[in-house]
Amino acid sequence: MIMKRLFISIITFLVTLPMLSQGWPEKYDGVMLQGFYWESYSQTKWTKLEKQADELSQYFNLVWLPQSAQAATTISMGYNPLYWFPGHYNSSFGTENELRSLIKTFKAKGIGTIADVVINHCGNVSNWVDFPEETYNGVKYQLQSTDICANDDDGKTKTWATQNGYTLSANNDTGEDFPGLRDLDHKSENVKKNVKAYLSMLLNDLGYTGFRYDVAKGFLPEFFGQYNEDAKPQFSVGECWDNSNTIKNWIEGTGKRSAAFDFQFKYVVRNAVDKNDWTYLGKQNDGSWPLVSGSFNSGNYRRYAVTFVENHDTEVRPDGTSNGPLRKDTLAANAYMMAMPGTPCVFLKHWIDCKRDIKAMIDVRNAVGLHNQSSTLNMATNKDYYAVRTEGKDNKYLVAVVGKQASTYTPNGAYTCILSGYHYAYWVSNNMETAWVDLPSGEYDGQQQALLTAVSANSDAQLVYTTDGTTPTASSTKVASGTKITIEGDMTLKVGLLIGSTVSSIVTRVYTSLEPLPIAECTMSEGEIGAFFEAPSSWNNDISCWAWSDSPSDNFTFANGGWPGVVCEFLGVAENGNKVWKWTWDGTKEKNSSATQPQKIIFNNTSSPQTDDLTYTNGGYYNKNGLVKVITPTGINEMTIGQQPASNGKIYTLSGQQVERPSKGIYIINGKKVVIN
C-alpha cells in the first residue's frame, strides 16, 4: 500500500512538473498594460506609476515595465544594459527604492509586474569587451570577454579583441546579431550562471511576476526554455518579431515555456486600417495567420499569444522613425483586440488618450468571460466592416463589429448592443441576463451621460437604479432599456435587471469629480532665471524645457543628460483652461561657460511635439507661437497672513502690477505674499 502511494505520488509529480513550467496560464482572462512608450522618462517615472495603482488595478492584471537597471548611458530606455543586480538600479525612471515601492504597491493591489529582460546583449565599461563586476548575496558575478560570441558585430569585435590581447568565445551566435553591443554566448556556463541568478533576483528579490524577453531571436529558444525552467516565472513572453510560423516554432523551441507577442496580429490590424479594407482581419497577412486565428487553433497557440496593436518599437518615435505604426482607428483596433482570444496588451499612449473607451471594453471582456483560449467565429466581413463572435464563459458570447460602417451591422435578435464608439460596436448574447452601464467607473470633469441597457431574453425586462450606493429594489427608480441618465459629481450608481418583481445582476459604477485645477500663479523672484509656457490643450504629457546659449556655447537644461531637457513645474491653468508650466534654472550648466542666461529656449511635450527655437527672455511667458508677455520679478519669498504691514512704498498684485490702495486680497508687499483682510 505504501509502495502504491509512493508510485502515485511520483506519477503525480512527473505530470505536474511540466505544467508548472508552462510559460503562460491556460484560459487566462487577464489584460496587460505596456506601462511605457519610447522616451517616456517623465510620464512613467516609478513614482508616477505607483500613484496610478488604484486605477490601473481595476482594469489590468499585469503591467510591463521598461528594463529597470542602470544602463550603459545616463539617459536610456534600458536596452543597452550594463548592470543586472541590486545596487545599480537608479535608472532613467527612478531609484531602486522607488522601483521596489512600485512593485510592492502593484502586488498589494493585485497587479503582477512584468520585467523587461535584456540578456541577448550587454554594454561595456571602458572598452569593447570589459564588463562590470557585481556582488549579490556575497557572490561575485561578472561576464568575461570569453562570454562574447565569436562573430559578434559581424566579426568587428573579434578583430578588436585580437589586436588588444583579448579572447572571445569559440562559439558563434546561435541567433541574430544585435549590432553595437556585445552579443552573449548562451552556451557559456558563466553566462548561464549570471543569467539564472539575475532572473531569480528579479522574481524573488525585486518582486517581479514574470518576464518580457527582448530580442527573442537573438539566441536559440531552447535557452529561454532552460532559463524559465530554472526561474519558474508565472508569466513569460518573448519578442519574436517575425511571421506566425517563426513565432510558433520559437514557442515550441522553448518547450512551450514562454508565450510570444503576436506580431502578425498587430500587422493584420494595421493593414486593415491603412488600406481601409476590414476584410484583412479575416484573411492571411504576408502568408501567415495571427496566432489567435483558426489556423493554429488545433495546436492551442492562442494560449501563448500576447496580442497588441502598437508598442514602443512600432509607434512613431520622437525622431520620426517607426515600424508599421497604427496611424488611425485606435478605438476600433483596441476594440478588436479586446474581443479576441490571446492576452491583450494595451499600449500606454492608447490608454492615456482613449481611457474611457478602453475601460469600457475591458468591462465587457470581463463580463462575458473571454480568455486567452476562447474560440471565435467570423460573422460577417466586407471592406467596410468586420464582425467576429468570441465565446466566453457559460456559453456567453461577444460579437465585436469594427470598421467605418460598423454601425450598419446588426446580428440576430439573440444579441444586444451594450457599447459603441468611433468605428466599433459590442453586442453580447442575451443569455447574459444582466443590467449594463456603458460609462465605466472613474474620474470625470463635468456632466456625463451613461447609457443603461437590459440584456435579457425577456422582452419585458426593465432596469432599476440608485445613485447613493444602496442596493436597488423593485421599488427603486425604473427605466426602460436604452435610457440615458446624467452623471454629475461624486456618485455610486447601481443598476439592476428587473423582471417581474425580481431584481438581479446588479452592476456598480463609482464616479468621482475631477478636482478643479488651480489658476496659474506666474511669479518671478529677484535674480531668478526662468520662463513660463502655456501648453496647447493637446499636449498631454509633462512639459520639458531645453535652453541654451550659442555664444558662448552652453546648455542650461542638461541636468538629465540630454534631450528633452528638464521637466518644468506645473503651476495650474490659464483662464482659457490651458495648463501653465514654469522652468527655473538650477544654476548648473553643461560646460560651465561665462553665460549668465540662455539665448534660446524650446518647450516640448516630453520630446514631441515641440515649439520652434524661441528667443529667450527672462520671465518670458510663451505659448507654442512664441513670447506673449514678460513676468516682472517681484521678490516673492513666503506667505504671511494678517493685516496690511507697513510697506516700502511699493505694493504689487500677483501678476506684478503696482497698486496704490489695495482692497482685500493677496498682494506682494516688502517682497512677501500678504493676505489683506
Give the model confidence (pLDDT) of 300-341 as tens digits.
Answer: 789 999 999 999 999 998 888 999 999 999 999 999 999 999
Cα 416–chain centre separation: 32
Is residue 15 very low, low, confident or very high in pLDDT (cuts 50, 70, 90)?
A: very low
Q: Report the chain's C-alpha Rg in angstroms.
A: 29
Is residue 205 very low, low, confident or very high in pLDDT (cuts 50, 70, 90)?
A: very high
Distance CA 127, CA 286 (A): 42
Is residue 526 very low, low, confident or very high in pLDDT (cuts 50, 70, 90)?
A: confident
- Among 60-64, 439-443, 588-592, 632-636, the range scoring the smallest mean pLDDT is 632-636
Q: Where are the alpha helices (H) located in 93-142, listed in sequence order?
A: 96-108
pLDDT in tens, 250-290: 999 999 999 999 999 999 999 999 999 999 998 754 445 67
Neighbours of 601 (CB within 10 A): 24
The pTM for the full model equals 0.82
Distance CA 341, CA 304 (A): 10
Does residue 662 sit in helix, strand or coil? Answer: coil
Average of pLDDT values for 94-108?
97
| C-alpha cell, 607 | 520630446
Contacts of 97 (CB under 8 A, 6+ apart): none
Distance CA 237, CA 660 (A): 69
- Among 63-67, 329-333, 611-615, 658-662, the range scoring the smallest mean pLDDT is 658-662
Average of per-residue pLDDT values in the chain? 90
Q: In angstroms, how far is the first alpha carbon of the chain from the final one?
A: 92
Q: Strands 502-513 and 442-444: what pairing?
A: parallel
CB 404 within 8 A of CB 373: no
The confidence score (pLDDT) of residue 659 equals: 64
Distance CA 338, CA 101 (A): 30
Is residue 669 very low, low, confident or very high in pLDDT (cuts 50, 70, 90)?
A: low
Contacts of 620 (CB under 8 A, 6+ apart): 531, 532, 601, 627, 629, 630, 631
> In sequence order, what E strands does 269-361 have?
305-307, 343-347
CB 503 within 8 A of CB 511: no
The confidence score (pLDDT) of residue 546 equals: 94
Q: Indicate the residue type of 435.
A: A
Reduced to 3 DSSP states, what percent helix, strand and coil does the chain have, rounded to the nearest 5?
A: 25, 30, 45
The three-point CA angle 77-269-116 to 5° equals 25
Neighbours of 600 (CB within 10 A): 15
> In sequence order, what E strands does 229-316 have?
235-238, 259-261, 305-307
DSSP string, 469-513: SPPP-TTSEEE-TTEEEEE-SSEEEEEEEEETTEEEEEEEEEEEE
Distance CA 38, CA 230 (A): 31
CB 494 within 8 A of CB 472: yes
Residue 571 burial (10 A CB sphere; 0-12, 13-18, 19+): buried
Is residue 42 very low, low, confident or very high in pLDDT (cuts 50, 70, 90)?
A: confident
Is residue 199 very low, low, confident or very high in pLDDT (cuts 50, 70, 90)?
A: very high
pLDDT in tens, 217-256: 999 999 999 999 999 999 999 999 999 999 999 999 999 9
Residue 648 has pLDDT above 80, yes or no: no
Is residue 13 very low, low, confident or very high in pLDDT (cuts 50, 70, 90)?
A: very low
Average of pLDDT values for 205-215?
98
SS (H, E, C) 638-661: CEEECCCCCCCCCEECCCCCEECC
Residue 181 has pLDDT above 80, yes or no: yes
* DSSP run (H or E) holding 397: strand 397-402
| C-alpha cell, 353 | 488618450
pLDDT in tens, 354-409: 999 999 999 999 999 999 999 999 999 999 999 999 999 999 999 999 999 999 99
Q: Give all strands of the β-sheet with 385-391 in edge-to-edge order.
A: 376-382, 385-391, 397-402, 424-429, 415-421
Distance CA 332, CA 273 (A): 9
**How many helical (H) and strand (E) elements, i.e. helices and strands, does the chain have?**
12, 40
Is residue 483 very low, low, confident or very high in pLDDT (cuts 50, 70, 90)?
A: very high
Is residue 58 very low, low, confident or very high in pLDDT (cuts 50, 70, 90)?
A: very high
Average of pLDDT values for 402-431?
97
* DSSP run (H or E) holding 115: strand 112-117
Is residue 560 very low, low, confident or very high in pLDDT (cuts 50, 70, 90)?
A: low
Residue 3 has pLDDT above 60, yes or no: no
Is residue 34 very low, low, confident or very high in pLDDT (cuts 50, 70, 90)?
A: very high
| C-alpha cell, 259 | 508565450
Is residue 514 very low, low, confident or very high in pLDDT (cuts 50, 70, 90)?
A: confident
Q: What percent of the chain has pLDDT over 70?
A: 88
